[in-house]
């Protein structure tokens, strides 16, 4: 650590001295001098002294466990402020579990228009992520599965104004279903709908993404028939009939079948009922 020399500091300090938990009273006396330029009862002016450690690293005792809070490696009562200056403000915090050799990185990015807060995971070779990202606008990105007790959108009311809010519950079900819908007018008694085109997706995406589709077509006052082959929905009926169509299909992408899609089994089907494993207390 950078060595600083002070004059008139109360207490008995020597050059290069390292303070430990056993020297808490001495350290407290020194910190009071830096902050208040006096003792505990002094209400005088704040000391003009600024201690600049540059790029030095402060290491605290890493042996203490949370099971003994009074002897914790670092205990803070109150607030911690970490500030970095410059055009691109970056504040990083590492959380490491030596027993399982896992490391998490909480990173704050204050510029560039990207995520303001990110969580990364180190797999032993490289950083993976961000696993969780929160933007300055409040948007949240989760790389894996997201579980919740309930959910909704909650927005400013579009017509009532004032402090009124509007919310709707999420549509949920026991399958990871996707919904595609639209309207088409029959020309010469028929029409075809390419589901990739209707969803503005690259050719082949719908069939790679979906399985077990189910289709429904309705036209007010008209009898219509329809069939679904791959990504093509074919509708027949009276000429110029306006038809509303909907296709529902279950997701089958690699994410749903991977460990990241932990809500599903190896085939990507939702695991509807499960027994939760108890979480061990902090060691």
Residue at a domain's end among 80, 103, 132: 80
Two tokens, residue 89 = 């403000």
Q: Are residues 60 and 95 both part of a single domain?
A: no
- The Cβ of residue 136 has, within 10 Å, a number of other Cβ atoms equal to 13
Domain count, the chain: 3
Q: Are residues 96 and 41 both part of a single domain?
A: no
pLDDT at 249 over 70: yes
Q: Are residues 32 and 56 both part of a single domain?
A: yes
Residue at a domain's end among 119, 142, 165: 142
Res. 281 pLDDT band, cuts 50 70 90: low
Q: Are residues 181 and 224 both part of a single domain?
A: yes
pLDDT (0 to 100) of residue 77: 60
Q: Tens of pLDDT along 5-32? A: 555 555 555 655 666 666 666 666 666 6
Q: Are residues 96 and 68 both part of a single domain?
A: no
Q: Are residues 24 and 46 both part of a single domain?
A: yes
Q: Are residues 186 and 243 both part of a single domain?
A: yes
Using a cut of 0.85, tell me whether the model's pTM lies above it: no
Q: How far apart are CA 257 and CA 267, in angstroms?
A: 5
Between residues 156 and 81, which one has the greater pLDDT?
Answer: 156
Q: Which domain holds residue 112?
A: 90-142
Q: How far apart are CA 139 and CA 148, in angstroms?
A: 17
Residues 6+ apart with CB under 8 A from 17: none
> Does residue 272 belong to any structural domain of this protein?
no
pLDDT (0 to 100) of residue 98: 55
3-state secondary structure 116-185: EEEEEEECCCCEEEEEEEEECCCCEEECCCCCCCCCEEEEECCCCCCCCEEEEECCCCCCCEEEEEEEEE
Q: Tens of pLDDT along 73-117? A: 555 566 555 555 554 555 666 666 555 556 666 666 554 555 577
Q: Are residues 126 and 65 both part of a single domain?
A: no
Res. 235 pLDDT band, cuts 50 70 90: very high
C-alpha dihedral sign at 205, 207, 213, 215: positive
> Does residue 206 belong to any structural domain of this protein?
yes
Q: Tens of pLDDT along 35-72? A: 554 444 544 444 433 344 444 444 444 444 444 545 55
Q: What average pLDDT does the chain have?
A: 75
pLDDT (0 to 100) of residue 64: 43
> Does residue 281 belong to any structural domain of this protein?
no
> Does residue 282 belong to any structural domain of this protein?
no
């Amino acid at each position: 650590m950078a060595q600083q020399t002070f004059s008139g500091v109360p207490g008995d300090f020597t050059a290069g001295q390292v303070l430990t938990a056993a020297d808490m009273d001495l350290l407290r006396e020194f910190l009071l001098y830096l902050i208040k330029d006096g003792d505990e009862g002094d209400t005088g002016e704040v000391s003009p002294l600024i201690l600049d450690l540059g790029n030095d690293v402060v290491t605290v005792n890493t042996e203490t466990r949370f099971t003994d809070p009074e002897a914790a490696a670092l205990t803070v009562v109150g607030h911690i402020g970490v500030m970095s200056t410059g055009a691109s403000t970056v504040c990083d915090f590492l959380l490491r579990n030596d027993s399982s050799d896992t490391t998490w990185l909480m990173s704050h990015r204050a510029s560039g228009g990207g995520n303001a807060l990110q969580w990364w995971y180190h797999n032993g070779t490289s950083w993976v992520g961000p696993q969780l990202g929160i933007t300055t606008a409040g948007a949240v990105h989760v790389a894996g599965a997201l579980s919740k007790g309930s959910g909704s959108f909650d927005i400013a009311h579009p017509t009532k104004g004032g402090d009124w809010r509007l919310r709707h519950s999420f549509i949920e079900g026991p399958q990871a279903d996707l919904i595609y819908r639209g309207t088409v007018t029959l020309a010469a008694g028929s029409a075809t709908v390419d589901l990739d085109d209707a969803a503005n997706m690259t050719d082949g995406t719908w069939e790679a993404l979906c399985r077990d589709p189910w289709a429904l077509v309705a036209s007010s006052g008209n009898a219509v028939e329809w069939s679904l082959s791959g990504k093509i929905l074919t509708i027949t009926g009276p000429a110029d009939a306006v038809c509303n169509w909907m296709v529902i299909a279950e997701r089958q992408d690699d994410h749903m079948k991977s460990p990241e899609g932990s809500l599903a089994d190896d085939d990507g089907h939702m695991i509807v009922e499960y027994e939760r494993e108890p979480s061990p207390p902090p060691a």
